[in-house]
Structure 1
């Protein structure tokens, strides 16, 4: 008998049921680059991130490889392209490559009029200034719904500028508003080479990856076979790492890749790090929608007596929040869905919250937004990543991250300063009653939540978003 489920539902089910395996050994068993502590800098805020990016571009001599979800057609995006073309004009031998998500680059912004997207800007620059800046579109899935290029990291000569931020006005702090992320600069030839080599081998050389700065562009449906091959390759791809022991006194940095539900190295490593936590975990996520294995591990850590801090953005600091008085669109439901998740979590762990073992922090700073993600564990481990620590990142998007293992605790001052800076605009929840009760949500939100709950689509949305 033919299944009553449509093909789309079957494909979603296959991709959203996470599998995986436990990694043997602990963090010290992972191969890593030995990096001097003074080669690692934590940058504070979008302005410092923007300044570092433009300084590195201006000083580049050999290569620039920028990887982000998108490079937007706005002032900041054009400033970055201007800087890239100026660097190429000054040094014609400089190799410049930009990688963005194929689907995201070819559509307009959500809620805006239909357009050719950012790809039109890339073509305009190439027509006016030549093809010295190659912009590639990476389709890691057939549809944006199923997953996107969510790799992060800018490699400029022997430096890695790593952040979860993409490139647009709000990420770079233009026009008086910003979207907060984390920002780290690592100067190390081996790490930079490994990350640039991965992009060349697995993205640039793939038949599915096409230049967005050239016309005409093929339709996605004409690339389905190539996308399938790329997806299979990425499920087994990893960064090239040394296998020599890391000398005492160095910081061990392991770049990690994650894609798909089977044997996802990044996911498995994140779970291993959490399971090995002894005293303290600080977890950052912009959207409170933790994957089930992460929630289960947090529950286990709490029962073991670990102290856990989780910082999320207030619903008003969400990208999709629609202030009262503005026309409501369905996408504006998302901040309320995430807040409802957090309220249920806080209620189920209210005893841990009351005794201060579980600290839930809400970040808010005016009309700015929050995009921070990653982990700090036991003063010795840090994960900087673009992974939102949600089900979509867990099984659909192509993700990466850097694990910093610092047994001599040379970076502890940087980590504590970063954590203190983030708490400056955050409030600790006394209990779950500090969050809005869904009964007080706007009428349009309550109506949509009831509809979704009635047909259990709220669970599917939590897995997709």
Structure 2
């Protein structure tokens, strides 16, 4: 009887599920977009090229610089960027410079280090020494960092958009011989740049929750509870203001997408529609193998339809939370092992498709460097540039964005193919789940902590939050 009573509701939920939205192609076609000449889109090959392009664009700026990133760190790389920003302001006093970082991340020290005032201390020291010409704002997406951060990406410099999932510090900028690999694209288009800068002005600068960090008196988070609540509500309705350009034969259409919250999330809905629209092949990049359930379901549907799927993920030793044996263990060091366990289960469940070559899982590793790539390639004519890690946290908690590139003439195909080939130089195809290290061989402290998590089922909660 209970099943009969709840059947209509369960049927409605299935019909309304984002996984069952019909006509994925129509969804994508309805999205407005900027027509960007393919010649104005450049794929940068590595972190050094990203660093050079960033500093060059800052040096050339005359009107505006809008930098949005998770953090601008107090190290040589971060100081190099701040030095460049203040130098640009000195050359052009009318230049408007705004930097937006996560409110919570900016005001704490590194995980596992002693308590400090964080990167905000550096921001205030620069302002005292060089003046207020560079405005640095903290963006509190949630009341606590654990429940969501500013994960929006994209640097707008005059009419250029430099887009990457990278933050700004030594390792992201490849200083001192180590790097954290991401993806890097430079798009020259005034309309796109205006849309991304205008969104920041409307949604961030005009919010009472977003406050300057490089000033003497920074309010405590507890005093901002009501503004933060209003800010979250506004973000759930926010969108980029996108034109409906008509693309010419030499153009690629680019749609900036915003993602925040579990429902009515434009970025999530578009990612699912894009995956469902696949005709032949998907390439998925993620740094932490912890796919949201809707993505896992759609990938299973694609495999049953006969599509080929390539997934590239970092080897656990290439994870930025990995702690090498011999170094003092911290709880955060469990994460790479949790992600490897997720990958093992996924590979075991799809071993037949791995054997046939329909599913290819590539493990990236290059010495002691780390892997931070994310994004999608669908068939040969659509791609997503994003900072979204394609994990449950990005899906529901963090403020994310992305750029959808539709390229029916395949003008960018050679560039994307070259990017994929370069990535595979440091990757090994996983032959089966047994090729991954057995949990029995994990360090003793890792085995102990994982057993405790499994016993209390806290591993599920950790997978949802991190």
TM-score with structure 2 length normalisation? 0.95
Question: 2:18–2:272: 8 Å Cα contact kept in structure 1?
Answer: no
Aligned partners of 1:23 and 1:402: how far apart in 2?
Answer: 23
Residue 308 of structure 1 is matched in structure 2 by 309
**CA–CA distance in 1 between the matches of 2:61 and 2:53?**
12
C-alpha distance in 1, partners of 2:122/2:425? 38
Structure 1 residue runs of 5 or longer lacking an equivalent are 1-18
- Give, in whole Å, the separation in 1 of the partners of 2:283 and 2:147: 29
Contact 1:181 1:371 in 2 (8 A): yes
- For residues 109-144 of structure 1, the C-alpha deviation after alignment (integer angstroms, 9 at most, x for no partner) is 001010000000000000000000000000010000
| Partner residue in 1 for 2:162 | 161
Which range is displaced more, 24-33 or 235-244? 24-33
Q: How many residues align?
A: 448
> Does structure 1 retain, via aligned residues, the 8 Å contact 2:139–2:204?
yes
| Distance in 2 between residues matched to 1:463 and 1:235, nearest whole Å | 20
SS of the residue corresponding to residue 235 of structure 1 reads: helix
Find the aligned partners of 2:443 and 2:131 in 1 and give their Cα distance.
51
Aligned to 2:413: 412
Task: Output the CA distance in 2 between the equivalents of 1:207 and 1:413.
Answer: 46
Aligned to 2:274: 273
Alpha-carbon displacement from aligned partner over 1:179-222 (angstroms, at most 9, x marks no partner): 00000000000000000000000001110000000021111010
Secondary structure, aligned partner of 2:352: helix
Judge conservation of contact 1:70–1:167 (CA < 8 Å) in 2.
Answer: yes
**Structure-2 residue corresponding to 1:434:** 435
Q: Give the CA RMSD over aligned residues.
A: 1.2
Which residue matches 2:132?
131
1:350 equivalenced with 2:327 (yes/no): no
CA deviation digits over 1:69-88, x for unaligned, max 9? 00000000000000000000
Separation in 1 of the partners of 2:147 and 2:442? 30
Q: Does 1:379 align with 2:380?
A: yes
Tell me, in whole angstroms, the C-alpha distance in 1 between the residues paired with 2:250 and 2:330.
53
Moved beyond 3 Å, runs of 4+: 19-24
**In 1, Cα distance between equivalents of 2:416 and 2:276:** 21
The match for 2:290 is 289
Aligned equivalents of 2:22, 2:253: Cα separation in 1: 18
Task: Say whether residues 1:27 and 2:28 are aligned partners.
Answer: yes
Q: Which runs of 5+ in 2 are unaligned?
A: 1-16
1:381-437 Cα deviation digits (max 9, x unpaired): 010000000000000000000000000000000000000010000000111111011
Q: Take 2:18 and 2:276, find their aligned partners in 1: how far apart are those partners?
A: 15
1:23, distance to aligned residue in structure 2 (A): 7.6
Contact 2:348 2:432 in 1 (8 A): yes
Post-superposition CA distance 1:78-99 (Å, at most 9, x none): 0000000000001000000000
Aligned to 2:59: 58
8 Å contact kept, 1:20–1:264: no
Deviations 1:322-372 (A, max 9, x none): 111111111110000000000000000000000000000000000000000
Q: Does structure 2 conserve the Cα–Cα contact (< 8 Å) formed by 1:26 and 1:276?
A: no
Instruction: Tell me, in whole angstroms, the C-alpha distance in 1 between the residues paired with 2:205 and 2:51.
Output: 26
Query: Which shifted more, 21-30 or 112-121?
Result: 21-30
- In 2: Cα distance, 1:217 partner to 1:95 partner: 22
Asked if the contact 1:314/1:363 (under 8 Å) is kept, the reply is yes
Aligned equivalent of 1:240: 241
The 1:433–1:447 alpha-carbon spacing in structure 2 relative to 1, beyond 3 Å, is same
In the alignment, is the contact (CA less than 8 A) between 1:20 and 1:262 conserved in 2?
A: no
Are 2:65 and 1:68 aligned? no
Check conservation: 1:33, 1:252, Cα contact below 8 A: yes
Alignment match, 1:15: none
How far apart, CA to CA, are the structure 2 residues paired with 1:108 and 1:61?
34
